[in-house]
Structure 1
Amino acid sequence: MNWNDIRIFLALARTGAVRAAGHRLGISHSTVLRRLEALEADLGVRLFDRTPEGYVLTAAGRDVLSEAKTVADHMGAIERQLVGRDDRLEGDIKVTMPDGLALHLLMEPLTRFMEDHPAINIEIDLTYDALDLSRREADVALRFLRAGKLPPPHLVGRKAAEVHSCIYACSGYQDRAGRDGMRWIGWQDDEPYPPWVQESAFPDIPVRGRLNNLMLQRAAAEAGLGLAYLPCFVGDPSPLLCRMVPDSTHSFDLWVLCHPDLREARRHRLFRGHIHKSLRPHIDLLEGRLPYGSKPEADGVQGPGPVSAVRA
């Protein structure tokens, strides 16, 4: 049994899907299948049942899981300690962040960082999942945490910004749909009236569409599918969206985090500082304060559209 096979086993146990495990590890799904088959042949047991719902651990797989996690913890600690002592401005930095943050605010700064430091390679995983920094699924994590919530105690970092959100719809949506025809765009597991809807200015409007991706939600709202509760840095720059209420809500805090073992690694420290510096010009946009018609100097993003008139 080799370390790479253990990593594949753990990723598949966590995700329950071959493609998702491959994506997490940066390898093809065919490699995941091939290495899993080799591992099961080597051990002489079946580790997973293949079901319509995905890959489910067998009894033997559950027995292996706890030992595999122990091995992964030890290997992760060795890797972190070695990388943490590396003073070179070269090598890989694995970064995880939400898609909207990368697409709206950070692609230009990421490009500039790689141009300034050609020996450093940035690997970006766009996800809302909390990847395991202890096992080096990522080196740096940009995470949205609920407003006022602190990061896990085993991670270190700084809050980069407060993130405000607001209710958005395309211009004229309420006039076309009428109060009885309005609907919320929800997330995949939302009930018809989830708590965040009940606490909003439109508590009696049901969730009808469910899209588990922030950028798809914005596109759906722009197309007139319904109301969307979006971060202001996603909703305000859209020329097709209007705020349905004037005031935004402090919904999340944006943190830049790493494992303590990597805190002093030179290239990682440089990268985290670059991210903080790159976000400063966008603070007003992140916190929902960008005046109508203004444009952030960093990238020329259009400011928020007009506030729609809301009728009870």
Structure 2
Amino acid sequence: MNAQNDWDDVRYFLSVARQGSLSAAARLLGVNHSTVLRRIAALESAMGVRLFDKLPRGYVLTAAGEDLHRTALAMEETLAAASLRLSGRDAQIDGTLRVTTVDIIAMHVLPRHLAAFRERYPGIRVDVTIAEASLSLTRREADIAIRLIGQPPDTLVGRALSGLAFAPYAALPVAERHGGATLGEADWAGVDESFDHTSMARWMKGTVTADRVVYRVNSVAALVEAVRAGLGFGLLPCALADRMPDLRRVGPPMEDTDIKIWLLTHRDLRMMGRVRAFLDFMAVALGGERDLLEGRGGPA
């Protein structure tokens, strides 16, 4: 086994020793019962000794287990002290910060705030990756994710900054040409089947028949541009469309939405200096635009 796996197995061992049962240790570690059993068995096999006796009252350390327990506690204390020292060193506000988000946030929401962030923290370089699918913060493919989701995975920590309202819009000539026509009578541009799991897709299916959708695309940012070009009505984020004078709202915001803007990081990174600086700054910056993001900002 490599050093990382060795320490991971020791963490499982310490948890069982503290909790006295596999199920309690599993709950604490956020894994299932069989994972804990497998990791303890791997550690016992690697060391060639039995570490626990399974008794009616729970898992009890053997003599060898007690020996390892003392060593493991010392290892844990040493690692905790090192972590504190290193986190203090990383409190310097500089370095590269990797942020992943979706196209509409990267193109239409973040830039003005990144410019202000740069003025305050000139030592931090921000690398933004546009990806509809979440990059893994656990594998350190990114440090921070800004996502449009209902609820984030349990492995990440952060906060919901705002809702994100969507409403039907059209380019001004298209809106004037349709006059008082109902939404169902207009031609539409929409998102493709990759969005079928979203409230956008549910709203479209409940409002517009498939034959009225004349254009589909797998990007909301591209959809905005298609609507601006006059391809048809489109369900767009109010935070973008309300700032575009060549677009007009042609209906009320959709009500069936659980979309929120989440600012997320991995729990092991949340106190890193540059990560903390970005989280705190963007929480204030994006929180200050809540009326616009939730569709109460009105047309630009």
Q: TM-score, normalised by structure 2?
A: 0.62
What is the identity, as a one-letter code, of the residue corresponding to 2:280? G
* Native 8 Å contact 1:232 1:285 kept in 2: yes
Q: Specify the alignment match of 1:121 in structure 2.
A: 125
Corresponding position: 1:159 with 2:152: no
**Structure ranking higher in helix proportion:** 2
1:177-225, Cα deviation, whole Å (9 max, x unpaired): 6779732212233799x6432223x346532212222222111111110
Which of 213, 224, 228 is the equivalent residue of 2:219? 213
Taking the aligned partners of 1:277 and 1:191, their CA distance within structure 2 comes to: 30
Q: TM-score, normalised by structure 1?
A: 0.60
Q: How does 1:37-186 map to 2 (within 5 A)?
A: 86-145=90-149, 149-173=150-174, 176=177, 182-186=186-190
1:230-274, Cα deviation, whole Å (9 max, x unpaired): 111011111111112134434510000000000111211111110
What is the identity, as a one-letter code, of the residue corresponding to 2:164? V
Q: How does 1:150-299 map to 2 (within 5 A)?
A: 150-173=151-174, 176=177, 182-189=186-193, 195-200=202-207, 202-203=208-209, 206-249=212-255, 250-292=257-299
Shift of 1:131: 0.7
Number of equivalent positions: 208
CA pair 203-244 structure 1, distance change in 2 beyond 3 A: farther
Structure 2, unmatched stretches of 5+, are: 1-82
Secondary structure of 1:109's aligned partner: helix
* Native 8 Å contact 1:232 1:248 kept in 2: no
Structure 1, unmatched stretches of 5+, are: 1-80, 293-301, 303-312
What is the identity, as a one-letter code, of the residue corresponding to 1:228? G
Identity of aligned residues (%): 32
Shift of 1:226: 1.1
Shift of 1:175: 5.6
* Native 8 Å contact 1:174 1:182 kept in 2: no
CA pair 84-96 structure 1, distance change in 2 beyond 3 A: farther
* Native 8 Å contact 2:195 2:218 kept in 1: no
Taking the aligned partners of 1:127 and 1:121, their CA distance within structure 2 comes to: 19
Taking the aligned partners of 1:284 and 1:181, their CA distance within structure 2 comes to: 30
* Native 8 Å contact 1:83 1:262 kept in 2: no
